[in-house]
Amino acid sequence: MVSPFSMLFFFTLLLGLVLCVSSDSWFGAWVGLELNLLSFIPLISSSSNRYSSESILKYFLVQVLASIMIIFSALFILMMVNLKMVFSLSLMLKLGAAPFHFWLPQVMEGLNWIQVLILMTFQKVGPMILLSYLVYDKWSLTMIFTTAVVSAVVGATGGLNQLYLRKIMAFSSINHMSWMFFAMILSEYCWLLYFSIYCLLSFLVIVNFYLQQAYHFSHLINSSFPLIPKIMSMMSLFSLGGLPPFFGFIPKWFIIQEMITNNYFYPLMVLLMCSLVTLYFYIRLSISFLILMFPFSSWILKDYEGEVVMNGMMVMNFLGLLIPSLYMMC
């Protein structure tokens, strides 16, 4: 049961996001980020998780360091010194983009799935929108471009040998940020579309892990979850990885077309190769818990209470099949 204090802090977290996004000054945006930070800290505190305190401390220190960098760069900008690149670096540190990703997998390891979902979606909104304002600065654009390429490589290679699902989702988030950064460079519409679909697919995957209470690779193998929901979970993982013709491939299709139009051939090759690597550990997750289960075991034939989630996953994943290609080419 959700406590009133959790609802209060979640409301102030959303209030901080609204203040950050709607502010017409950098100071107001910074205040919104700080309100968002101070609201998220109580939400991730849990007495039942022994790693919660460590995650809170790591998250708080990293976010405070990023906030100090924002204030530092803002002071020099007022003195007519162009330090917008430092501002961009601080926002990337808040996002956990490579090579500033060192804190993200460790923090996510100490959170439950609902807290992981908030960290992967809501906590990225403010910094991403502020970063999109800095694309028009030459040095910031160079930094975003470089970080996008590094994030693609780090997100793909970092999740290869992981057995903890939260760390896999952390490196998956880092890899998806590379696509969002390139979409941000191309157009505002592209990155908003990609980010919206990424949040939706992350919600479907994480809710499914939450229903199974799966935190380790072995939990999926030994799970007593019914067969059909596991197939839906597999499709959601494929969609999150951007495998055609599932729903997650649609925003990547847009970005691939735009990158070809703008002659970004070499970065596109890096993104596509890294996406193949991420698909490898998505397939490793999905195939293993399907072939190592016995579909006629008694513990699998029990009633499943998540039909709504399963039906939603089926509809969303097959939208990539229902959208005509002629519409996509427009």
Of 211, 116, 212, 118, residue with least CA distance to 170: 116
pLDDT at 2 over 80: no
| 115 contact partners, CB below 8 Å, separation of at least 6 | 43, 44
Summarised one tens digit per residue, pLDDT across range 266-298 is 999 999 999 999 988 888 877 766 665 544 444
Phi, psi at residue 246, to the nearest 5°? -75, 170
Summarised one tens digit per residue, pLDDT across range 4-63 is 778 888 999 999 999 999 988 888 889 999 999 999 998 888 656 667 788 888 999 999
Q: What is the mean pLDDT of residues 140-158?
A: 93
pLDDT of residue 65: 92
Residues in the chain: 330
Q: What is the mean pLDDT of residues 252-263?
A: 92
pLDDT of residue 292: 53
pTM here? Answer: 0.87
Q: Which amino acid is at 313?
A: M
pLDDT of residue 24: 85
User: Residue 316 — very low, low, confident or very high, per pLDDT cuts 50/70/90?
Assistant: low
Summarised one tens digit per residue, pLDDT across range 151-202 is 999 999 998 888 888 999 999 999 999 999 999 999 888 899 999 999 999 9
Of 242, 245, 225, residue with least CA distance to 233: 225
Q: Average pLDDT of the chain?
A: 82
Neighbours of 37 (CB within 10 A): 20
pLDDT of residue 288: 65
pLDDT of residue 299: 38
Q: What share of the chain has pLDDT > 70, as a percent? A: 80
H-type alpha helices, the chain: 4-22, 26-43, 52-78, 84-95, 104-109, 113-120, 122-132, 138-158, 165-186, 188-212, 217-221, 227-241, 249-261, 265-291, 307-317, 319-322, 325-329
pLDDT of residue 46: 65
Contact yes or no for 242/279 (Cβ under 8 A): yes
pLDDT at 215 over 90: no
Q: What is the mean pLDDT of residues 114-125?
A: 92
pLDDT of residue 79: 64
